[in-house]
Every structure is written in C-alpha cells, then in structure tokens.
Amino acid sequence: MTKTAERRYTYEDLSGLLSLMSGDEKHGPAATSTLDALWVLYDRVLRVTPGRVDDPERDRFLLSKGHGPMAYYAVLAAKGFVPVEWLPAFGSYDSPLGHHPDRVLVPGAEIGSGSLGHGLPIAVGTALGLRAQGLHEPAVWVLVGDAELDEGSNHEAIAYAGPAGLDRLHTVVIDNSSASYARPGGIAARFEAAGWSVESVDGRDHEALYAAFTAPHPGRPRVVVAQVEPKSA
C-alpha cells in the first residue's frame, strides 16, 4: 500500500485523486472550480502542514463553500492531511469524508461547512481571536463561492472587517457565475466599498493566483476574486 507521507503528490496527481472519489476519469468544471486556488494555497501559500494542525502559529484555511468538497479532499490527501486510502469511501456511512466537510472528522479542516454563509463570520472571529492573543503572524483564509455571497451573513462580515482593519483576514471568492442575480464587477465592488484590498484574477492561472495571494495589503483585509468557467457553460 502506498503510504501518503512517503509520496510527494503534484498538481498533476489531483485528477487521479478526484477519480478515487467520483469513480469517473474526467471531471467537469463544477467539481474542479476550487481546485487551482486550493492547490496554490496549500502548495505555496499556507504555512500549515499535517504536523502543525494544532500549532497556534499555523495559518488557518476555512472552506466556507462546503458544496463539492472533492477538490478540497484531494488537496488535503495530496498534502498528507488525510490518507489517500480514505478517498474511495467518500460519502459513505463509515467515511469521515462527507459531501460537506466536518472539522471534527477531517484532519486539517478548520471548520465544518455546508450551510452557506458561515465561514466568513467565523473567519472574522478567528482573526480577532489570534490578534487578541498576540498571534500576529498567522494568516486567516476563507474560501467562498460567488453565489454564496447571496447570503446576508457574509455582508455582515465584509462590512465589519474592512473598517475594523483586519489585515490578517483573506477571502478567496471562486466566481463561476453561479449566482442568479449578479452584476459584472459586483463582487469586487462590494468588498472595495467596505475598504478591502481587492484583486480579480484568472482562477486557473497559478502564477496569477500566487501573485494575488501574496501581494501586500497593509491595514486592510484582502479579497481575491478568482474567475473560472461559468457553472452553466
């Protein structure tokens, strides 16, 4: 049996890991809308490893958009947080890996999600909690979907975090045009109006994602809107 810890997985391996869960060789855009952003974060940006999941100094990544978590599990498996052997049982009664992640069951998952609009407010509290303990290094990241931003709870968090100057807070919006009511540029505009540092990038371009994820944003929270293929395309 392949030991996860002994093997180094690359981006090219993720499709095979997804196949262990889906049973299909090919994956549509919906299943992989988050895959590139997740990979760049876990591969090059987040300061967290399987050995540091309880380290107060680790970066926190909160998957708020809990729907379609196969890409998340694939990345967690590739990076050794969960055993690759867990993947084939995805969604079954005895599997820790459900169709929405549960932080109590999944090593490395900072939150459980599924009901939309919970991650950003929790991320705000996480950033506040770290600051209150003098932990100024760890970054807090939360990933949301464009349609998830329909939920008003997000707007409570966005409107608070900007004026509060939570500069350790980072949001990635995966924009696959799945909101029924939206205007061009509306997502960036809402964050911008609340005082966030904003950048929109091609959500499939790893270098562009990396540059956007690592750009300085002193005194302000940061949002990266990662545009991918429309869900309905």
Residues that bind another protein (CB under 8 A): 56, 102-104, 110-112, 115, 117-118, 120-133, 135, 152-153, 156-157, 159-160
Find the shortest distance in angstroms from Cβ 132 to another protein: 4
Find the shortest distance in angstroms from Cβ 150 to another protein: 14
Find the shortest distance in angstroms from Cβ 80 to another protein: 22
Distance CA 199, CA 212 (A): 7
Residue among 70 and 109 whose Cβ is closer to another protein: 109
Give, in order, the Cα–Cα distances in Å from 96 to each of 44, 83, 93, 152. 26, 11, 8, 30
Residue among 27 and 60 whose Cβ is closer to another protein: 60
- Kind of pairing, strands 60-63 and 197-202? unpaired
Find the shortest distance in angstroms from Cβ 188 to another protein: 21
Find the shortest distance in angstroms from Cβ 95 to another protein: 18
Residue among 122 and 201 whose Cβ is closer to another protein: 122
CA atoms within 13 A on the CB side of 211: 10
* Cβ atoms of residues 66 and 100 within 8 Å: yes
Find the shortest distance in angstroms from Cβ 99 to another protein: 15
Residue among 115 and 214 whose Cβ is closer to another protein: 115
Residue among 27 and 170 whose Cβ is closer to another protein: 170
* Cβ atoms of residues 117 and 148 within 8 Å: yes
Residue among 78 and 120 whose Cβ is closer to another protein: 120
Distance CA 101, CA 70 (A): 10
Give, in order, the Cα–Cα distances in Å from 206 to each of 40, 212, 215. 6, 10, 14
- Kind of pairing, strands 140-145 and 169-175? parallel
Distance CA 64, CA 19 (A): 23
At residue 72, the 3 state secondary structure works out as helix
Can you say whether the dihedral through the CA atoms of 190, 153, 53, 67 is positive or negative? negative
Find the shortest distance in angstroms from Cβ 199 to another protein: 24
Residue among 76 and 87 whose Cβ is closer to another protein: 76
